[in-house]
C-alpha cells in the first residue's frame, strides 16, 4: 500500500481519481439541468479531464443552455471534457463590470475556441490564457496576435503574441456560455 501511495503521489493522482465520475451527459437533447464541475482557473486551462480531486463542487445549469451548442475547435481539443465552470476573481471583474461581478461564475465551453462569432454581429466572451492566468475578455485575432479586450474602455487590454508552433485559438480556453453573478 505504501508503494501504491508513493506511485500515485509521483503522478499527482489521488485514490478517488481512479474511480470514474458519473455525470450527466450535457449533449444529446435538452434536459432540465446538467451538472458541471466548478474548477480552478489552472485546471480549466490545462486539464483535459476533470478528476474528482480537482473538482471543487458540481453546479447545476439549465440543460437548454448547452443542449444544442456546436463545437468549433481543433480535433485535439474535442477529446477534452467540454463544459466547466470557474469563478471570476475581483481583478478580472474590474474590467468586465457590470457584465460580470466579482465572484461571478461562468460556464465555459472548452470546445469552442473559434474566433467566429457564435451569434452573428455579437462579440464572443471568452476565457483566455494570459501566461498561466485565466482572463475573461472579448478576444480578437489579428495577424499573429490576440487582443484581449475588457468591457470597460478604461480598463487594460492585453495583447498576446502567438507562440511559434501555436495557433491563435490556443490562447482561448473556451467561450463563455453563461455568466451567473449570484448563486
| pLDDT tens by residue, 94-150 | 889 999 999 999 999 999 999 998 988 889 999 999 988 999 999 999 888 999 999
**pLDDT at 75 (0 to 100):** 86
**11 in any annotated domain:** no
**Which residues form the domain of 117?**
24-180
CA angle 35, 48, 145 (to 5 degrees): 110
Q: Does 85 score more than 80 pLDDT?
A: yes
Residue 52 lies in a domain: yes
Residue 150 lies in a domain: yes
Residue 151 contacts residue 99 (beta carbons within 8 Å): yes
User: Does residue 168 belong to any structural domain of this protein?
Assistant: yes
Count of domains forming the chain: 1
Q: Is residue 80 part of a domain?
A: yes
Q: State residue 3's pLDDT score.
A: 83
pLDDT band for 15, please (50, 70, 90 cuts). Answer: low
pLDDT of residue 68: 81
Give the residue from 95, 81, 4 showing the smallest Cα distance to 36: 81
Count Cβ neighbours within 10 Å for each residue of 132-171 and write b for 16 or more, e otherwise.
eebbbbbbbbeeeebebbbbeeeeeebebebeeeeebbbb
Residue 5 has what pLDDT?
75
Residue 2 maps to a domain: no
Q: What is the mean pLDDT of residues 27-40?
A: 77
Q: Is residue 6 part of a domain?
A: no
CATH number of the CATH domain containing 171: 2.10.109.10
Residue 170 lies in a domain: yes
Amino acid at each position: 500500500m505504501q508503494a501504491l501511495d508513493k506511485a500515485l503521489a509521483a503522478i499527482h493522482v489521488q485514490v478517488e481519481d481512479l474511480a470514474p465520475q458519473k455525470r450527466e451527459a450535457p449533449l444529446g437533447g435538452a434536459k432540465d439541468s446538467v451538472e458541471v464541475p466548478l474548477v480552478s482557473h489552472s485546471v480549466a486551462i490545462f486539464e483535459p479531464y476533470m478528476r474528482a480531486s480537482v473538482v471543487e463542487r458540481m453546479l447545476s445549469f439549465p440543460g437548454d443552455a448547452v443542449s444544442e451548442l456546436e463545437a468549433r475547435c481543433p480535433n485535439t481539443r474535442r477529446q477534452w471534457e467540454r463544459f466547466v465552470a470557474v469563478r471570476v476573481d475581483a481583478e478580472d471583474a474590474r474590467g468586465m463590470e457590470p457584465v460580470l461581478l466579482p465572484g461571478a461564475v461562468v460556464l465555459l465551453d472548452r470546445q469552442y475556441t473559434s474566433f467566429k462569432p457564435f451569434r452573428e454581429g455579437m462579440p464572443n466572451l471568452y476565457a483566455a490564457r494570459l501566461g498561466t492566468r485565466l482572463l475573461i475578455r472579448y478576444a480578437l485575432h489579428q495577424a499573429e496576435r490576440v487582443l484581449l479586450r475588457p468591457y470597460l474602455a478604461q480598463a487594460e487590454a492585453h495583447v498576446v503574441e502567438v507562440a511559434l508552433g501555436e495557433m491563435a485559438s490556443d490562447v482561448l480556453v473556451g467561450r463563455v456560455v453563461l455568466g451567473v453573478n449570484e448563486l
